[in-house]
Structure 1
Amino acid sequence: MARWRWRKKGSGEDAAATMPADVADVDRASQATTWQNAFANVGDADAVAYRTGNAQAIGAGAIAVTGVYKPTVQLPPEALRPPAEVDAPTGLNDLPYQPGLFVGRDRELDLLDTALASPGTALVQAVAGLGGIGKSTLAAHWAATRLHGRAPVRWITADSPAAVQKGLADLATALQPVLARALPVEALAEWGLQWLASHTGWLIVLDNVNDPADIAPLIARAPGGRFLITSRLATAWTDAATLVRLDILLPAESLALLTRITTGPHPARDLDGAADLCETLGHLPLAIEQVAAYLAQNPLTTPRAYLHLLSQHPAQMYRAGAATTAAGATIARVWNITLDCITRIQPHAADLLRTLAWYAPDHIPAVLHHAGTVDPPADSAALGLLTAYSMITPDPAANTLAIHRLVQALARTPDPEDPHRTPQLIDQAREQATQGLYTNLPEAWNTPDTWDTWRTLLPHIDAFATHTINTEGTINAARILNETALFLGNQGQSGPATTYFQRALTDTVRLLGEDHRYTLTYLNNLASAYEWSGDLGRAIPMYEQSLTDTARVMGEDHPDTLISRNNLASAYESAGDLERAIPLYEQSLTDTERLLGEDHPSTLTYRHNLASTYESAGDPERAIALYEQTLVDRLRVMGEDHPDTLTTSNNLAYTYEIAGDLERAASLHGLTLSYRVRVLGDDHPDTLTSRNNLAHTYESARDLERAIPLYEQTLSDTVRILGEDHPFTEMLRGNLTRAIAERDNVEPS
């Protein structure tokens, strides 16, 4: 038997394999010399030669041999055959394939099939996406079910150079098991690589590649087969024949996967809440698998019960898997590998990810992800790094980005055991998110030119409010909620407005005390929200308290006191208590004219409100005179497109109708409606009001052919925008019923 020893390369000395002098078999000695030459200079990129029947210089990217190998090993002659002469036996495939963990993905499978069918010898395909999105599962399923006889199929974990080397060494050992007794891992890897270089028809799956440089030498030296790469890097595979960007499962697919794993051992178990659980997990395959395994192991825990556990103990549940769940495969750990890499490269990227966790997952505008940036290049680099690792998905056309909701949930959950999610880091990120929203709030909430900005920010304010509901708010957070509630109230959404006003008031009282100006303002605003929703029983006492406290703290002539007095008068009017409403309005108007002047917006508002009270008191002549004066002044001071101008125009038209002047009423209602459609849009509550009022005027004029279609259109829009149970919806439904009964000469039901 041929024998040789390896010795470590020394200074100025080439590593060589020495052969014993007593080798009797010349042919074997010749083969040994071939192997000696094949491995003599492994690691010298310019000198590795593959001396076989199809000899070629392989040099570039050779895998280095290091260390000392001393044992004397006897090998059979067949072990000395060059890699090119070794055929792959059957049973060499080693896919980690579990059919029960695969659902859907037809489009992605077809994309990989198309590339496989293309002509040519070398083919690189890549599947990229967020950790846990199912890249490895897709690759294993495709390789196991779609290759139609291609062999062998080998799976190499490729997250480091050492892992790639081990995978190639394992291939060599599988092909020639006896080599494992004679060669170090570096030499085995080189043998495996030379086997790939001299054969065709194989598929190598390079799983979880972190750096394209780790696999570049392998791809360059083995052009005769197929490589399928999976990686969290989404931007590194421009040369791939196919790049499949993997996204979350469809809802039906995630539910099917959860059900399949959960009910395996318990087919009759309770799956209440399963669809909601999949939605909470963001239809992420890894999360579905982890939670389903937990549920399968805990048959008394329903999906609904798991949701409760997740809401109450998120940090523990994100770490919790089944007994068979690998420690590194839980939701809490899978992204830490990526975060470790990101933090080493650009620490600001991890800070930015934690900040983005407090917003809505989709359509995050640039003003938020650039908020507070003092180093724009670093911010740009951070966004690029998060994009490269599939942690965020930018939309360059809209200048927005998206982030998976489960990534967000984990990134805002404090965990003292996780260096990326310490309570201090989470608190810092929440404050940064607060500052981002606060600094980008529009200056006004009741002017149409700010509404696009409000609508862009609103989903992220709502998400922020939801995520912080169990934390003590700050002054800036209270300001965000108060200003947002004013906008929502203006848009007819009194329910959410009331909730936000309540939270703003609670936090401000706690932080600043009951007599602070912000507290008094938020108290008045909360009373307004109750009035908007028709809850005068709570609105009026709150207004009375607001007026008393504001007058005591700020003084009788302070503008805030005038506002409180006007708002209390409005509530009295809404309650039908005109005896108290009219004197308060008259006092507010007199004081405002004296303090602020006749053209001040507040003066015009109070004059308008007093006119409304005169109309409610059955004095349309005085109301019309005041409305007409106010309309002229508002046109001059504010312009014809201002919402307040249109409000006065609407009310004047309504008062014309009350006074019996239907022609002027219909004309002015029609004009106001056209302006509101143009300025506010078809769906604004004021536009709906104008359309209803015009229909009512037509009805009063017995023109039911025009009144009924307008009522029907307005009712349909109002149900869609404000809901079935909104007071305005109920009023409209009554108007339509009455008009139809009048047309049909029947009593309204």
Structure 2
Amino acid sequence: MSGAMDGRAQDNGRVYQTTGDQHITENHHYMGSGRAPMGGPDSVRRPAVGHTPLALRDRSEVLARLREGLTSGRGAEVYVLHGMGGCGKTAVAQAFFDIATVEYRRVGLWVNAADRAGLRVGMLAAAADRGARDGELLAAHQGHRPAADLVWHYLDESPDPWFLVLDNADDPAILRDGSWLRGSPRGTVLVTTRRAAARWWPGAELQHIGVLPREDAARVLCDLAPHSGTLAQAAEVADQLGRLPLALTLAGGFLAHQVIDPWTMDLYGRRLEEDEAVELIDQGADVLTEEDPRHLVGRTWQLTLDSFEERGLPQAVALLRLLARLAPEPLPLSVLNRPEIGAVLPLARTETALTALLDHSLTQLVDLGDLRCAHSHGVLLDTVAAATPPADLVVLNATAVRLLDAAVPAVPAAGPYDPRLRLLAPHVLALLRRTAEPSGTADALRVATRLATALHRTGDYLSAWETASAAAALAARTLGDEHRLVLAAYARTGRSLFRLGRYEEAEPMLRRVRSTQLRLFGADDPDTLDTGQGLQLVLGNHGKRQEAVTLLRSVVAGRQAALGPWHPATLRSRVSLLAMLTAREVAAGAETDDTLLSVPQACALHLGPDHAVTLNARHNHARVQFVLGHYQAADDEIRQVVDDYQRVLGPGYPAVLAARQLHAQTQTALGHADAGVDLMSAVVVGRERSLGPDHHFTAVSRDLLEELRSGRWRPPQPPV
């Protein structure tokens, strides 16, 4: 050869170049083994998943709907099972695959649709199963003919009815772009996906797969680890795991395989609280099998988060990390729709980020009356929190505090029950649990205590106590028991205990807090005075009136000196003093002068006529009129107070019942005994409903009603 070689070869082609006569014979054999032209799954006749679930709990309604499609003989049915990762969509599909193939004699076909390559080879393997020839499959593999058309041609022409599962179709664009998802008169298609938006599945019947009911979740644990505990103990663990099937399966597997030192369900539950919960749950995975991210709670959602980054949606990841600082409870969407969120993601992008989370089943919308909320699963939030870069935590925690701070009234006021406040409580407490830095803990505790105050002043004393006590305990781990903010939270706890009628707990707590505040801050410190205001209420209702009066006078003097005579806190203490004095003390004049008796006018002037302190002042002034024997004046005043309480604070507010009780007494004192009994009967019913039958206030009202009914009650007589 004298010249350069002119030929070029590609792939498996060959070039022959010679100067003489040559005879070349080549034999090429394709598909000699009968396999697909290119690598494909080993089988499409069996689910490409791990172990078959030992028991499928609480999916009977879903399976019944799927059975209808097979039983009716309708063709071209497409069902979509959607839900968050780990909720058991594949397990449901696997269970129904067995039903379709065994009971209904359908040809079962299972294709993993997680990515384009797997979907393509799987669907072509399904076509081969239905009779596609080697040459056709080769042409489709090489792009010489439309692959989806070939597959659906053979599915439509199948001599046997079939049931096709497209598993893990979390990117619907893969199915849409190649037109891989179609209906056929010869079979039924079932898709499992995390994508919930109906726009991805036109013409399909959608079925949400959520977490299990409590009893069924407990039975899953007992199925897997029958000797680890009772059904009741399993239910407690199931609640800690959010009743997520994947987490239940891993936990049950862990308990079942503890041989040398077996664990009980109670021990497992305690360790979930003490240890890194996500790591403990994932220890239930079979260490001898190949790790699959979808089979570990610590990684199952990372697939979706990675896709957000790849698709240019980092704001969705940022929003989920922000939500992971909060609780797995409904969060009002209004909390997220504030400029304070800008430190984590632009406010203008919040809508897009939330939509992405909803579309991928990473959160869901729930309507609670007029409130629309986002609700995310606890195991998901724990997983995201554990994987959040430590460098991001300060900004995330600070942003969460600012958002919650903006949602709580700056100056909590008495008023009707506000459901939004109770919804905020678990999120503030969750943030305290996740915050370890002192300044961040202090900021979160300020919000928690103010929220507890707001709950208290709407009459939700139980939520106020739960919020304040939990917040104080959580913050004390970082700040210490004698930190100013921790002491204030404990004081708020004591005041709520008083309203709940738990005097035996409230008094020592408030005494202990006040003693510490006196030692650290002094008698005239605003926090010390606040605690004194709360303590005197307990003392006055606990048979220690004289000590209460002495303490209250010191609080009035201290607040006047520190805050001025017309500050709301000062006026509130003076109003309390008006309610504490006896008829003799009032009449004496030395104890109560015209200034004290004119407190209602001062409150109206400086706070407004509808301020809660003003209304309370008028209420207490009516009581003074009553104990002085001015029954008609007291009746006229308290009747108007009841109307104004209901108008301003709502008919269910606790003060309404207290005012009606006084009204029942004034009516009876004026000779209207039947009206007094009717009013008092309504008070007893209201207090039993709101406070419970054993509350001190309820017992006092019940005793008064019996006295009114029996005619034994006598009104107070004017002092001589």
Q: What TM-score results when the alignment is normalised by the length of structure 1?
A: 0.73
**Do the aligned partners of residues 402 and 221 (structure 1) sit closer, same or farther apart at CA in structure 2, a change above 3 Å counting?**
closer
Partner of residue 388, structure 1: 359
SS of 2:643's equivalent? helix
Match of 2:268 in 1: 306
- Give the 3 Å change call, closer, same or farther, for CA 208–664 of structure 1 in structure 2: same
Which deviations, in whole Å up to 9, do the C-alpha atoms of 1:165-194 show, x marking residues without a partner?
A: 3323543565679969x9799379887665
- 1:343-366: per-residue Cα shift (whole Å, max 9, x none)? 333223222212213434343122
Q: 2:154 aligns with which of 167, 183, 195?
A: 195
SS in 2 for 1:101: coil
Distance 1:309 1:634 in 2: 55
Is residue 327 of structure 1 aligned with residue 285 of structure 2? no
CA contact (8 A) 1:524 1:546 kept: no
For residues 540-572 of structure 1, what are the alpha-carbon distances to aligned partners after superposition, in whole Å with 9 as ceiling and x for unaligned?
A: 4644664675558xxx7x877876787787777
Alpha-carbon distance in structure 1 between the residues aligned to 2:257 and 2:477: 43
| Structure 1: distance between partners of 2:269 and 2:336 | 30
What does residue 168 of structure 1 align with?
123
In the alignment, structure 1 residue 126 sits paired with structure 2 residue 85: no
The 8 Å contact of residues 547 and 565 in structure 1, kept in 2 or not, is answered as: no
Paired letter, 1:379: T
Structure 1 distance, partners of 2:423, 2:489, is 24
Rounded to whole Å, the distance in 2 between the matches of 1:176 and 1:497 is: 66
Q: Residue in 2 aligned with 1:400?
A: 373
Shift of 1:619: 2.9
Q: Distance in 2 between matches of 1:353 and 1:74?
A: 49
Secondary structure in 1 matching 2:341:
coil
Q: Does 1:686 align with 2:655?
A: yes
SS of the aligned residue for 2:298 comes to helix
Change (3 A) 1:177 1:357: same
Conserved in 1, the CA contact under 8 Å of 2:435 and 2:441?
no
Structure 1 unmatched runs, 5+ = 1-5, 12-19, 24-69, 82-90, 415-419, 745-749
Q: 1:552-563 counterparts in 2 under 5 A?
A: none
Which residue is equivalent to 1:642? Answer: 611
Q: CA deviation at 1:686?
A: 1.7
- 1:392–1:401 contact (8 Å) kept in structure 2: yes
Of 327, 337, 356 in structure 1, the residue corresponding to residue 303 of structure 2 is 337
Instruction: State how far apart, in whole Å, the 1-side matches of 2:455 and 2:706 are.
Output: 30
Distance 1:287 1:595 in 2: 56
Paired letter, 1:390: S
Aligned counterparts, 1:418-433, within 5 A: 420-425=387-392, 428-433=395-400
CA distance in 1 between counterparts of 2:489 and 2:104 reads 72
Equivalent residues in 2 for 1:580-659 (5 A)? Answer: 600-602=567-569, 604-615=571-582, 618-620=585-587, 622=589, 628-659=597-628
Does the C-alpha gap of structure 1 residues 203 and 736 become closer, same or farther in structure 2, counting only changes over 3 Å?
Answer: same
Pairing 1:428-447 to 2, within 5 Å after superposition: 428-447=395-414
AA at the equivalent of 1:103: R
Shift of 1:159: 0.3
Contact 1:92 1:152 in 2 (8 A): no
Letter in 1 for 2:46: D
Following superposition, the deviation at residue 411 of structure 1 comes to 2.8
Aligned to 2:716: none
1:219 partnered with 2:180: yes
SS at match of 2:225: helix
Taking the aligned partners of 2:403 and 2:565, their CA distance within structure 1 comes to 39
C-alpha displacement of 1:232? 0.7
Contact kept? 1:565, 1:584, Cα under 8 Å: yes
Amino acid across the alignment from 2:465: G
* 1:499 aligned to which of 442, 459, 469: 469
The 1:358–1:508 alpha-carbon spacing in structure 2 relative to 1, beyond 3 Å, is closer
Separation in structure 2 between the aligned mates of residue 529 and residue 163 of structure 1, nearest angstrom:
60
Identify the residue that residue 284 of structure 1 maps to in structure 2. Answer: 244
Deviates more, 1:439-448 or 1:599-608: 599-608
The within-5 A match list for 1:79-94 is 93-94=45-46
Moved more, 331-340 or 492-501: 492-501
State the one-letter code of the partner of 2:421. Answer: W
* SS of structure 2 residue aligned to 1:273: helix
| Structure 1 residue aligned with 2:332 | 365
Percent identity of the aligned residues?
22
**Contact 2:552/2:577 (<8 A) preserved:** yes
- Tell me the distance in 1 between the aligned counterparts of 2:299 and 2:560: 66
Please state how far the C-alpha of 1:439 moved relative to its aligned partner. 3.1
Residues of 1 paired with 2:44 and 2:563: CA distance?
90
- Matched residue, 2:223: 260
Distance 2:392 2:323 in 1: 13
Equivalent pair of 1:111/1:242 in contact (CA under 8 Å): no
How far off its partner does 1:308 sit?
0.9
More moved, 689-698 vs 521-530: 521-530
1:457 aligns with 2:424: yes
- What is the aligned length? 659
Q: Tell me which residue corresponds to 2:717.
A: none
Distance 2:162 2:180 in 1: 13
Residue aligned with 1:619, SS: helix
Does structure 1 conserve the Cα–Cα contact (< 8 Å) formed by 2:532 and 2:555? yes
Q: 1:208: how far off?
A: 0.5
Distance in 1 (alpha carbons) for counterparts of 2:337 and 2:230: 46
CA distance in 2, matches of 1:260, 1:590: 67
8 Å CA contact retained: 1:157, 1:207:
yes
- Distance in 1 (CA, whole Å) between partners of 2:104 and 2:475 is 70
Q: Which residue identity does 1:364 align to in structure 2?
A: L
The change in CA–CA distance for 1:322 and 1:145 in structure 2 (over 3 A counts) is same
**Aligned-residue offset at 1:209:** 0.8
Counterpart residue number, 2:18: none
Question: In structure 2, do the counterparts of structure 1 residues 139 and 674 end up closer, same or farther at CA, with 3 Å as the change threshold?
Answer: same
**Range moving further from structure 2, 226-235 or 716-725:** 716-725
In the alignment, is the contact (CA less than 8 A) between 1:359 and 1:460 conserved in 2?
yes
CA distance in 2, matches of 1:692, 1:202: 74
Amino acid at match of 1:196: L
AA aligned to 1:330 is L
1:208 paired residue among 157, 168, 177: 168
240 and 143 in structure 1: CA distance in 2 versus 1, 3 angstrom threshold: farther
Q: 3-state SS of the aligned residue for 1:199?
A: coil
Whether the 8 Å CA contact 1:540–1:571 is kept in 2: the answer is no
